[in-house]
Amino acid sequence: MNSVQATKRPLRKAVLPVAGFGTRVLPATKSIPKEMLPVFDRPAIQYVVDEALAAGIEHIVFVTGRNKGAIEDYFDHAYELELTLAQKNKNALVDELKSILRPAGSMSFVRQQAALGLGHAVWCARDIIGDEPFAVMLPDMLMMAQPSCLAQMVEAYNKVGGNIIAVEPTDTPELYGVIAPVSRDGRLIKMKGMVEKPKREDAPSNLFISGRYILQPEIFDLLASQGPGAGNEIQLTDSMVRLMEAQSFHALEYDGVTYDCGDKIGYLRANAAYALASADYGEKAAATLQKLLDEKN
Ligand code: G1P
């Protein structure tokens, strides 16, 4: 293993690609960024930012696009709203709104001007990431886990370094990136390859890349020259396959559940799951959902 393979430089930054149109949940996303759709009681993006912070991330880079301004506004002051609530003595709400804000300068927004694929979106963050390892977190995918999915990955990273991707079993590998495992040590898996959106019969395993990555900055040079792959898009998976030739790569079958909010039923599941998991509303949510089902039967 060379020095690059063994690298365990601390992880401080995360890239959140938020430029996608959300076509699978139209028309809900016609005029609202899909990342701002509520999952139970907060926008989906809030869960992903919370997961990043819980893993020690200090700086978040949003790769954004046109019509995504609501995301920037969400992480800024809403002075008129705060003032109006304060005048009505709704101080708990004011505090809750202010708790969304991060320290000045710890969030960056960079535009992906054209939807050329996930690999291209990540590449758009190269100047802000610079020469250090970084996380990529796909905000469609909400991971319910304790400790958080990225925190589990950081723990693995502190042991083995290099590049790490989160995986979990699926019945529909053709929808995702899929890994070819070689051996495993507990939840940590050695791989010999990855393939983006394989045909079901060609999938090298049932373990799909679930949307959390820890990557070394050398990926950016590979992304710069990456041609289009599956779906005629510049795929992050294809550049990771090339990076595997030079650097250590592990998959982590993390302990938790993934909710794919990118489609309507996944989004419904996420809403129900986060409502049921809520300390304040869980019991009421369970009774309400049960009543709905009983009424239907
Ligand atoms: C992307 C990745 C894929 C991964 C998936 C998880 O695909 O390319 O490897 O499995 O996210 O959601 P997309 O959903 O953008 O088609």
The pair of three-digit structure tokens given for residue 254, joined into one six-digit string = 């993390």
| Residue 62 parent element (H or E) | strand 59-64
pLDDT in tens, 77-90: 999 999 999 999 99
224 band by pLDDT with thresholds 50, 70 and 90 = very high
Beta carbons of 44 and 102 less than 8 angstroms apart: no
190 band by pLDDT with thresholds 50, 70 and 90 = very high
Enter the pTM of the model: 0.94
Classified by CATH at the fold level, domain 9-296 comes out as: Spore Coat Polysaccharide Biosynthesis Protein SpsA; Chain A (3.90.550)
Tell me which residue of 129, 151, 125 sits closest to 53, measured CA to CA.
151
Between the CA of 176 and the centroid of ligand 1 the distance, in Å, is 5
Beta carbons of 238 and 219 less than 8 angstroms apart: no
Distance from C-alpha of 193 to C-alpha of 269, rounded to nearest angstrom: 31
4 band by pLDDT with thresholds 50, 70 and 90 = very low
Residue carrying structure tokens 């696009």: 65
Question: Is the pLDDT assigned to residue 296 strictly greater than 90?
Answer: no
Question: Is the pLDDT assigned to residue 5 strictly greater than 50?
Answer: no
When pLDDT is averaged across residues 99-125 and rounded to a whole number, the result is 95
Assess whether the C-beta atom of 62 lies below 6 angstroms from ligand 1: no
Beta carbons of 213 and 135 less than 8 angstroms apart: yes
Question: Across the chain, what does the average pLDDT equal?
Answer: 94
Assess whether the C-beta atom of 237 lies below 6 angstroms from ligand 1: yes
Assess whether the C-beta atom of 261 lies below 6 angstroms from ligand 1: no
Domain ranges of the chain: 9-296
Q: What is the crossing angle of helices 79-87 and 91-99, to 10°? A: 160
User: Nearest residue CA, atom 3 of ligand 1?
Assistant: 177
